[in-house]
Amino acid sequence: MRFAVAVFPGSNCDVDAYRALHDVLGRDVEYLWYRETDLSGFDGVILPGGFSYGDYLRPGAIARFAPLMEAVVRFAGRGGMVLGICNGFQLLTEAGLLPGALLRNRDLTFLCDTVPVRVENADTAFTRCCQNGQVLRLPIAHGDGNYAVDAATLAVMEQRGQVILRYCAPDGTVDEQHNPNGSVANIAGIINGQGNVAGMMPHPERAAEELLGGTNGLFILQSMVQELERRQHEASRC
């Protein structure tokens, strides 16, 4: 099982993702430069956080045209697992792999904190190690995390269980008071219709060690690992 961590000019949480997967979970991980066009040999792709192209124009707007993104689109089309974290989430919406868009935070300021989020659908490849309704404490650090989508699309997403994480109170209550950035319906993370591409503003890779304040992020990363193990197992059986 091999993970690719994409590196765009201006990515800066590529290191965080690498460390969580490699140092903490002991997985095979490689950095992949944005000019690469080949993802063969990789089973999972992480689009990390940071400021690709300085977030100029809009976060993810320019990175979306990087050669590597063409490969990511093909990879996702074949059912490959792609997780976009923070800037990676913004990039996935810009590339059209996920619905909606991420606007400036409601208060217009960058926000670095650790916040509770509720798992809305534990029956996905990215949340399988969680329980429905489980509250995870995850770091956030973003200026543009205000998720927006039109009402019709949102209704479909809700119905299909595509909302996987919502900002909430420590006890799991979802209300406007515990919405750090103004996201519609407190949305913190979503998944595509096929279930193989996910995007989230919180940073699971930054919550992987007790020393750094908690390990709740491992629920997400382990889910991905389990899914890939399951796929490998299946592939070897037939």
Partner 1 sequence: MKLPGAERTARVGLTDAEYARIVELVGREPGDLELDLFGVMWSEHCSYKTSRPLLRLFPTTGAAVLQGPGENAGIVDIGDGLAVVMKVESHNHPSAVEPYQGAATGSGGIIRDIFTMGARPVAMLDSLRFGDLGEARQRSLFRGVVKGIGDYDNCMGIPTVAGEVGFDDSYTGNCLVNAMCVGIIRHTDIKRGAATGVGNPVILVGATTGRDGMGGASFASVDLTAASQERKSAVQVGDPFLEKLLLEACLELFRTDAVVGIQDLGAAGLTSASCETAARGGMGIDLDVALVPRREDGMVPAEVMISESQERMLVIAHQGREEEVQCIFDKWGLNAAVIGRVTDDGMLTIRNGDVVVGQVPAKALAEQAPLRHPEAVRPAWQDDLLDLDVTRLQQQDDWTGTLTALLGTPTIASKEWVYRQYDSVVRTNTVIGPGSDAAVLRVDGTDHGIALTIDGPGRMCLLDPATGAAMAVAEAARNLVCSGAKPLALTDCLNFGNPEKPEVFWQFSQAVVGMSEACRKLRIPVIGGNVSFYNETGASAIVPTPVVGMVGVVEDLAHICRQGFGEPDSVVVLLGA
Partner 2 sequence: MKARVLISPKKGIADPQGTAVEQALHTLGFAGVRAVRVGKVIDLELPEGDHTAALAALTCMSEQLLANTVVEAYSCTILDEGA
Would you tell me which residues interact with partner 2 (CB under 8 A)? 53-54, 56-58, 61-62, 65, 93-94, 99-101, 103-108, 146, 148-150, 182, 184
The H or E element spanning position 9 is none
203 is catalytic: yes
Stretch of residues binding partner 1 (CB under 8 A), selected from 75-83, 103-111, 115-123, 167-175: 103-111
> Sign of the CA dihedral 125, 129, 133, 135?
negative
Q: What is the β-pairing status of strands 44-47 and 197-200?
A: unpaired
- The span from the CA of 204 to the CA of 114, in Å, is 11
Residue of 54, 77, 170, 193 interacting with partner 1 (CB under 8 A): 54
Residue of 50, 116, 199, 204 interacting with partner 1 (CB under 8 A): 50
Catalytic residue among 94, 129, 178, 203: 203
Residues contacting partner 1: total by CB under 8 A: 29
Nearest-approach distance from CB 219 to partner 2, in angstroms:
30
Q: Does position 209 bind partner 1 by CB under 8 A?
A: yes
Residue of 3, 5, 6, 16 interacting with partner 1 (CB under 8 A): 16
List, in sequence order, every beta strand (DSSP E) within the chain.
Answer: 2-7, 28-33, 44-47, 81-85, 101-103, 111-119, 135-142, 146-148, 163-167, 187-191, 197-200
205 is catalytic: yes
Q: 60 in helix, strand or coil?
A: coil
178 is catalytic: no
Q: Give me the helices (H) in the chain, please.
A: 14-18, 67-77, 87-94, 151-159, 218-237
The set of catalytic residues is: 86, 203, 205
Which residues would be at the binding site for partner 1 (CB under 8 A)?
9-10, 12-13, 15-16, 19-20, 49-51, 53-56, 109-113, 139, 141, 143, 205-206, 208-209, 211-212
